[in-house]
Amino acid sequence: MTARRLLPLLFLAALSAAMLALGVPDALSLDSLRDNREALQRFVAAHGAVAAVSYVAAYAVVVALSLPGATLMTLAGGFLFGVELGGTLAVLSATLGASLLFIVARSAVGGLLSRRAGPFLRRMEAGFRADAFHYLLSLRLMPVFPFWAVNLVAAVLGMPAGGFVVATAVGILPGTFVFAAFGAGLGGVFASGAALRMADIVSPTLLFGLAGLGLLALLPVAVRRWKERRR
């Protein structure tokens, strides 16, 4: 592994260290959004385009560095920009961040990780080998595995970049717009002073609904395997 191939990985590591030093993970909370909502809303109202670009950049960095807080960023997008624009910006941001991590992992350490793959990777390998696009689409729809882990596994197993980007963008659409809709309604909750936890938003009903969509995405893979066995 050459030093040149490690540069992107070192860059992400430096960014991650900087974010941790600045306390960014601690700031990605509902309490922080509530306490700073007026200043954020004023900034969006006065500098709409700059605010949107800043939001996309910040969200992409959170995802690329695998920092906890992607759900909060989606809620913030709905709260600040509304459901339609906020959801669209969140999908763009998460896809950009995931793609950056995917590219870095594949170029810098993909081969090494593949050679040293453990049982976790092997369990997912069969699905990616059979139909990478629909398998990744299902994993995006079903929040079974951590978002960052799916990014790395797809890179290690050599999934084409184009399919990765499209499956990621399409797969996160339903959940992203649901959370953006929740975010758009946070203003009334904050104004009432009612307590709100992330667990109140990420409900079992929502997770089961997304899991059902993920199973539908796996249907083409199941049909293909059934036809192969018939032959």
The CB density around residue 119, as the number of other CB atoms within 10 Å, is: 6
Q: Would you give per-residue pLDDT tens digits along the chain (231 residues)? A: 455 666 777 777 777 778 778 777 778 888 888 889 999 999 999 999 999 999 999 999 999 988 888 889 999 999 999 999 999 999 999 999 999 989 888 876 655 554 444 555 666 666 676 778 888 888 888 767 788 888 888 888 888 899 999 999 998 988 898 889 888 888 887 877 766 666 556 555 555 555 555 555 555 555 555 555 655
The reply to whether the predicted model has a pTM over 0.85 is no
- Measuring CA to CA, which residue among 171, 175, 185, 172 is closest to residue 209? 175
Distance, in Å, from the CA atom of 113 to the CA atom of 51, rounded to the nearest integer, reads 38
Q: Which two tokens stand for residue 226?
A: 């059934």
